[in-house]
Amino acid sequence: MASTVIRQTLIQVTTPDEMRGRVFSVNSLFYGTATHLGSFRAGVMAEWIGAIGSVTFGGCAIVATVALWAWLFPSLRRVDRPDECSLTI
C-alpha cells in the first residue's frame, strides 16, 4: 500500500497538467492488470515446478527488478519530496 501511495503521488505531482488524465489512465490500466498477470504466472509456474519453486522464483524476480530499477534510475533513490521530484530518464 505504501509503494502505491508513493508511486501515485509521484505521478500526480510530476506529470504536466494537460497530460495528467492520460498518464493516470495508462498507469491504472497497467496497475489493474498486473495482479491478474502475476496470478496467472504464479499458477502456471506452480503447475510446472511446484508452489515453493514458483514463490521462490517470484521473490527473486522482484528483488532483481528493484535492483535493476535502482541501477537504471538512480535519481529515484534521491527523491526526498515528491513535489520537488525531477526524474531524469
pTM above 0.75, yes or no: no
The tally of domains found in the chain comes to 1
89 in a structural domain: no
Instruction: Determine the structural domain holding residue 61 and report its residue range.
Output: 2-84
The Cα-based distances of 73 to 29, 32, 48, 60 in angstroms read 23, 24, 34, 20
47 in a structural domain: yes
Residue 73's φ and ψ, nearest 5 degrees, are: -125, 70
**Separation CA 58–CA 71 (nearest Å):** 20
Over 80: is that where the pLDDT of 78 sits? Answer: no
Tell me the three state secondary structure of residue 5: helix
35 in a structural domain: yes
11 in a structural domain: yes
Over 80: is that where the pLDDT of 39 sits? Answer: yes
Please give the residue that has the higher pLDDT: either 28 or 78.
28
